[in-house]
Amino acid sequence: MKRIYQIKTLLLVMMVAVLATACKTEKVLPQKEALKDITGSWQVIKATRNGTDLTAIIDFSGFKINFTSTGYALVNKMPFLVEQDGTFALDDPEYPYKITFTAAGKTPVATAFTYPIVNGKRQLSLTFSPGCANNSYVYVLQKTN
């Protein structure tokens, strides 16, 4: 009888041991998403107003947005989210989907943006309404070389 108990205990211990080691936790290597760095000088390569392409009918070539580590500066201004230079912030440096511009002395203005790679180059696509709220503009920006 005692022997049977011993066998049962042994079985129990073995079962616990087997169960405990059955599932091995895989160590997942943390895939660190690169921080999105938008510093640099950006220019408009495509612009639309309510879906109408404006790129060929108004000159955007002089307009640039210079992002630095401390803020942004507008060169040869065009209608934009903000009218003055100031600071900016991304909501998440790894997966940003919102950018907030804060012109000096003004309230922050945020807009959704996309950051795709097209033909090997990063693009910034911003949607906003600088005039009437019903008029929607999309600027596609690319870094100048």
Residues that bind other proteins (CB under 8 A): 49-50, 52, 54, 57-58, 77-79, 83-84, 130-135, 137
What kind and span of H or E run contains 121?
A: strand 121-128
> Whole-number minimum distance, CB 131 to other proteins, in Å?
3
Type of residue numbered 47:
A
When the beta carbons of 29 and 133 are compared against other proteins, the nearer one is: 133
> Whole-number minimum distance, CB 30 to other proteins, in Å?
39
When the beta carbons of 119 and 134 are compared against other proteins, the nearer one is: 134
Chain centroid offset of residue 40 CA? 16
Q: How far is CA 70 from CA 16, 41, 101, 103, in A?
A: 58, 14, 12, 13
H runs (alpha helix) in the chain: 2-22
Cβ atoms within 10 A of the Cβ of 128, count?
Answer: 19
When the beta carbons of 9 and 76 are compared against other proteins, the nearer one is: 76
When the beta carbons of 30 and 51 are compared against other proteins, the nearer one is: 51
Cβ atoms within 10 A of the Cβ of 36, count?
Answer: 14
DSSP state of 70: S
When the beta carbons of 105 and 120 are compared against other proteins, the nearer one is: 105
> Whole-number minimum distance, CB 42 to other proteins, in Å?
18
What is the token pair recorded at 61? 């070539």
> Whole-number minimum distance, CB 28 to other proteins, in Å?
38
> Whole-number minimum distance, CB 78 to other proteins, in Å?
6
